[in-house]
Structure 1
Amino acid sequence: MRPIRLLVPGNIRHSSGGNVYNARLVAGLEELGAEVDVISVDGSWPDASADERRRLGIFLGTREPDEGPGQAVLIVDGLVAVGAPDELEYAAKAGRQIWVLVHMPVLESSGPAALEDEANALRAATGVICTSTSAASVLTKRGLPQAQVVLPGVDPAPRAAGSAPPHLAVVAALLPNKDQVLTVEALARIQDLEWTASFVGSDQADPGYAREVRAAIAANGLQERVRLEGELTGEALEVEWARTNLTLLVSRTEAFGMAVTESLAHGIPVLVREGTGAVEALGTAGQAADDGGPRLPGATLPLPAGGNESPDRLAGSLRQWLTDQQVRESWRKTALDARSRLPDWSITARKMLGIMAGTE
């Protein structure tokens, strides 16, 4: 088994889905006997400077001779790769085996130059591995011949007891894409019902947006009912999961949404935005209903951008869940049933090794 060198962005310091995936992948690979060297590459990725890209080239081994069987296999986080297409091309010409691990494709709104950099970087790679089917689909629609999919795993977790009144949680860094302001606006429309809510995630990833979220909470008089808990880990995070009855992930774009499967591991149903990769996460352990359709541990909602339609629609779904005991019990039962069917991280690591060995 050849050693593996994983290059990850050094500028993403909050607990992002990509960081969690990378860390759990490394642990899984090492448990299978792989030798893994993780290198945190400094730089403002994907918009790195020329010096930062040159430093990446050294890590890629563009100046090293190909040492054959002992040469490390390189896995480059997609956020780094798309910022340095030339360096990946040089490394490929030097005979390096390079796999690009894509957590989230470049957004269309990033512009033609960014999309071209992505295309060039991925063409230079030995292969492309995506962490969701939705990410792979985007890349193949853009012309990539093939993209493998290695879904995230999830750790077994204790069953959440929930709270009375019901407690809602949004587990994501405070970022515009995660749309916590939309959730605040929806909660403002159901103040006549009993509930509490918390936002669990870094408020340092985008301090400006974090201020917007705080301002929305204050403007709607929700300070006593909605708490910003910051980034939680370990026992503190488990305490939060234990008191939660429903999780929301209404990101505008989402490749997968590991918070969804983490919620299901605790037996907590989830509301997600339709048309995002979070729908795949919600259906990971879903069952067929009596009519043959999917029976999801929660619901998917169409939430268009702008106007009052989305807050009204989200508020309406929350109101139904809070007031209809049958809906609440059905979602809870399906979430509890899903716990035994969630994939673990050993499956993720084994598939990754299989792809790099050419057996998948």
Structure 2
Amino acid sequence: MGDLRAHSVTATGKAGERLLHFVLPGEVDDPAAPSGGNTYDRRLCRELPAAGWQVRPYTVPGSGPEPGPEARRELARCLAALPDGALVLLDGLVACGVPEITAPEAGRLRMAVLVHLPLADETGLAPATARELAARERRTLHAVGAVVATSRWAARRLVAQHGLAADRVHVAAPGVDPAPLAPGTDGATRPQLLCVAAVTPRKGQHRLVEALATVPELPWTCACVGGARGDSPYMTQLASKVKQLGLDDRVRFAGPRAGAELEAYYAAADLLVLTSYAETYGMVVTEALARGIPVLATAVGGVPEAVGSAPDGRVPGLLVPSDDPAALSGALRGWLGDPELRQRLKILARGRRATLEGWEMTAHNLAAALERLRHEPVRPKPVRHEPGTAG
């Protein structure tokens, strides 16, 4: 997408022009930090112009819900420089944790916040931290003119959690690009399982490893594609667990992959496995289904929406309760041990493939929300006159 930092804050465009100022996390273009949220943001910047919108992206330092002083200063400077009435979309990672910066500007700017994951839903937060993040997010979302969620489940969650008016929360689910069918192993060799997810506690790779340890007598290999942040204790724990369970010749952590390298992993896969504790949607689910790969996933958040159904109404995969390790192990055992089930789910995945929507629909849905916000009134800050001047 290019260096987003090269864009400076400028005035609004020509009269009648649909101009969107899009404020993004600093790592949105970092290949070492691939994520569904970053992919979503980049695709909006590419797709919205086709829907009639000019997009001016800006990045601010940091990527977490509790930004440091530099990130706070940059966000405040960015918003303050925008003219009254400007239409602004802020990624929730940038905006939700700093209501003291966003709320004062919300009256004079037409602001919307894109929530990829409610802040308090991150796994492993101390209860007090989760409560504080939820309170800060609530203040931000009540101040802005519109909220954008990435699934129907996420929209309902935000309305219930924060007491938002339902008509202010809009859904723009991620799209997916068409892709060739994945040949997989086609039964010729050991079935290949694929997990595509950042290596974090929320993605739950440890419980995938534990479930795989219950089926050592069955043929399988598993590739885990995704990056860990810095010197990750969780990655260290996972590697230790894999070795302890004697799975180091069958479970491989491949690190972050993109482009042709990621395509090669999808092409070799027979089943996508996602064992997250929380997901607002699960973009890797539709990426797998676009290649005709069935899915085994925990039924959390928006994942059932992403999995969807084939044209005959059947589910193109296996969904298990998040809090039931035995169900996960049983689903793995069932899929690995039943060739007929594998073939049936593969056919259903190919049926679901034909019904998936592309990114142009994401842009269309977001554009509709932005158009509505574009016509809402704003409250410009009063002009302060120096003593002795007319006014």
- TM-score for the superposition, normalised by structure 1: 0.90
Match of 2:114 among 101, 110, 135: 101
Preserved contact between residue 174 and residue 205 of structure 1 (Cα < 8 Å):
no
* 1:358 partner letter: R
Deviations 1:250-308 (A, max 9, x none): 1011111000000000000001112332111111x53444xxxxx1110110131xxxx
* Aligned mates of 1:276, 1:11 — CA distance in 2: 25
* Structure of larger gyration radius: 2
Write out per-residue CA displacement over residues 69-111 of structure 1, whole angstroms, 9 at most, x where no aligned residue: xx4x210001111121121112123x11111001111226443
User: Conserved in 1, the CA contact under 8 Å of 2:110 and 2:373?
Assistant: no
Match of 2:176 among 154, 163, 171: 154
Asked if 1:90 is matched to 2:96, the reply is: no
Q: Distance in 1 between matches of 2:40 and 2:68?
A: 26
Aligned-pair CA distance for 1:65: 4.2
Structure 1 CA distance for aligned equivalents of residues 209 and 328 of structure 2: 10
Aligned twin of 1:17 = 36
Q: Aligned residue for 1:137?
A: 156
Contact 1:21 1:152 in 2 (8 A): yes
- Matches for 1:72-83 after TM superposition, within 5 Å: 73-83=87-97
Size of the aligned set, in residue pairs, is 343
Is residue 286 from structure 1 mapped to residue 310 from structure 2 by the alignment?
A: yes
Secondary structure at the aligned position of 2:276 is classed as: coil
- Asked whether the equivalents of residues 9 and 79 of structure 1 are also in contact (C-alpha less than 8 Å), the reply is yes
Task: State the identity as a percent.
Answer: 37
Aligned equivalents of 1:303, 1:112: Cα separation in 2 = 22
Contact 1:249 1:278 in 2 (8 A): no
Once the two structures are overlaid, the 10-residue window that deviates more, 114-123 or 33-42, is 33-42
- Cα pair distance change 1:266/1:138, threshold 3 Å: same
The reply on whether 1:228 has 2:242 as its aligned counterpart is no
CA RMSD of aligned residues (A): 1.9
Is residue 326 from structure 1 mapped to residue 345 from structure 2 by the alignment?
Answer: no
Alignment check: 8 A CA contact 2:336 2:342 kept: yes
Q: Read off the aligned partner of 1:277 and give its amino acid letter.
A: G
Give the TM-score taking structure 2 as reference length.
0.83
Whether 1:7 aligns to 2:23 is yes
Report the counterpart of residue 3 of structure 2 in structure 1: none
Deviation at 1:44, TM superposition (A): 5.4
Structure 1 gap ranges (5+): 290-294
TM-superposed deviation, 1:34: 2.4
Q: Could you tell me how far apart the structure 2 residues matched to 1:22 and 1:333 are?
A: 32
What SS does the aligned partner of 2:74 have? helix
Stretches (4+) displaced over 6 A: none
How far apart in 2 are the matches of 1:23 and 1:63? 23
SS at structure 2 position matched to 1:343: coil
Q: Report which stretch shifted further, 139-148 or 236-245.
A: 139-148
